[in-house]
Amino acid sequence: MTTPSPTEQLASDISALQTRVGWMQDNVRLKNVQNAIEDLQTTLNNMPQRLVKLRADGYVFEKYLEGQAAAFPQQWKGIHLPLLNQINQQTASLQSSMRTIEMKMTQLNGSRGNIAVARSQMSVIENEMSMLEDKVRSAETTLNGMFDSFSSEVNSLNSHLNSIDYMLTQLAEAKFTLLPTEAGLHAVKAVWAKDVKERKEDPDGILYLTDQRLIFEQKEEIATKKFLFITTETQKVQELKWEIPVALVDQVTTSKLGMLKNEDHLDIRFKEGSPIETVHLHIWEECTEWLKLINRAKIRDFDKDRTVPIDQAVADKVKAIPSQCPSCGANMGQVVLRGQDSVKCDYCGFVIRI
């Protein structure tokens, strides 16, 4: 490899410094902060319409969401103007320093013929650039501190709306249907590990929580043909694997598994009467949050914040189910869900129409 001459090395170093100066010309305008503000403003502007759509698509819980979203613009109004004033002040100061550096870069380019002078000028510019970079970082920290708490609140709600949107999208694509008056609460990508230890052949799909049931639907692309270990053909498999009333959940245990303990898992044990005794699920969300969701669904805690009240006539039909089979007298011990149109006796097969 040929060692560059002093003149060539100087030209290369000046070029690198010019690139650094070019980047700084954007940074002194505090573009990172301004982009964050624009993103936040867009999120705020879109939030009311997002909520309207989520309600129209069937999300009937957390009636306080509209009030929370409506309060944000007023809060932002009190933050936004002082923030813009600070940005203007900080930008003016930083751009003044930037202009000084740009003038010195012009002088540097005129000194290329004198390597010693050019090197001296470069050293001065590099020191001033380092100080300016520190000023930019300090300004960004100060400005971000003026709205990061508010931004966190907005982003937290927006993330929650994203999760609701995901659930509604999955429900719209599901092969099963919800019962009348039944509504979705949450959904997550999951693997049902049938033997507790997760295996490649275990069904991959979506775990749903509604106000009445836990449902697992397999939903994945399965390889049907391979060539030299490379998948060449796949088939989409979508099939309801199990559905169990939330009322039959006996215990939920959470665990962190995997080599780095970063995999979230649920072990759910069901009461007598459930078609499955236990299930083990690997889920792609924080397992402790799912524990809270399931426990809240069990005690019907979500019902108090519904935007659409439960149809009392439908609820009364469930209460009217006899405790004993009219045909054989056996105890009708099944959990009856709102919206069911019939109940079948486990002993004689007699069907009670609801």
Q: Which CATH number characterizes residue 231's domain? A: 2.30.29.30
From 71, 298, 52, 38, select the one nearest 161 (Cα to Cα): 52
Cβ–Cβ < 8 Å for 272, 251 = no
Residues 146 and 61 in one domain: yes
Residue 11 lies in a domain: yes
Residue 292 neighbours by CB under 8 Å, 6+ apart: none
Q: Is the dihedral of CA 187, 189, 193, 194 positive or negative?
A: positive
- Is position 134 within any domain? yes
The answer on 68 and 164 residing in a single domain is yes
Check residue 7 and give its pLDDT.
Answer: 93
Residue type, 103: M
Please choose, from the candidates 101, 83, 79, 220, the residue with its C-alpha nearest in 3D space to the C-alpha of residue 153. 79
Rounded distance between C-alpha atoms, residue 279 and residue 252, angstroms: 10
Any domain includes 178: no
Q: How are beta strands 249-257 and 278-283 bridged, if at all?
A: unpaired
Whether residues 66 and 204 fall in one domain: no
Distances in Å between the Cα of 291 and the Cα atoms of 212, 226, 231, 250, 268 are 16, 39, 37, 12, 10
Closest CA to 206 of 178, 173, 182, 234: 173
Q: What is the pLDDT along the chain (354 residues), one digit of tens a residue?
A: 688 899 999 999 999 999 999 999 989 999 999 999 999 999 999 999 999 999 999 999 999 999 999 999 999 999 999 999 999 999 999 999 999 999 999 999 999 999 999 999 999 999 999 999 999 999 999 999 999 999 999 999 999 999 999 999 999 999 999 998 899 999 999 999 998 899 999 999 999 999 999 999 999 988 767 777 677 778 899 999 999 999 999 999 999 998 889 999 999 999 998 999 999 999 999 999 999 999 999 999 999 999 999 888 888 888 888 888 989 988 887 888 998 888 888 889 899 888
Question: Which tokens in the block code for residue 195?
Answer: 């033997």
Q: Please check whether residues 254 and 301 belong to one and the same domain.
A: yes
Q: What are the residue ranges of helices labelled H in the chain?
A: 6-27, 31-56, 65-110, 115-173, 287-298, 312-319
What is the predicted pLDDT for the residue at 313? Answer: 85
Q: What six digits make up the tokens of 169?
A: 């999208």
pLDDT at residue number 241? 98
Q: Is residue 179 part of a domain?
A: no
Is 251 among the domain residues?
Answer: yes
Based on the domain organization, do 103 and 152 belong to the same domain? yes
Q: Is the domain of 288 the same as that of 203?
A: yes
Q: Are residues 211 and 130 in the same domain?
A: no
> What DSSP state is assigned to residue 168?
H
Q: Are residues 199 and 268 in the same domain?
A: yes
**Amino acid making up residue 91:** T
150 and 209 share one domain: no
Identify the domain boundary among 305, 321, 340.
305
286 and 354: one domain? no
The pLDDT of residue 314: 84
Q: Which parts of 195-309 are beta strand (E)?
A: 204-210, 213-227, 230-245, 249-257, 263-270, 278-283
Note whether residue 325 is domain-resident: yes
pTM reported for the whole predicted model: 0.87
Q: Please indicate, yes or no, whether residues 116 and 66 belong to a single structural domain of this protein.
A: yes
**How many structural domains does the chain have?**
3
Whether residue 239 is contained in a domain is answered as yes
* Same structural domain, 267 and 129: no
Q: Does some domain include residue 113?
A: yes
Domain that holds residue 325: 311-354
Structure tokens at 32: 């990172």
**Cα gap 50→43, rounded to integer Å:** 10
Query: Going by C-beta distance under 8 Å and a sequence separation of 6 or more, which residues neighbour residue 269?
Result: 249, 250, 251, 252, 253, 277, 278
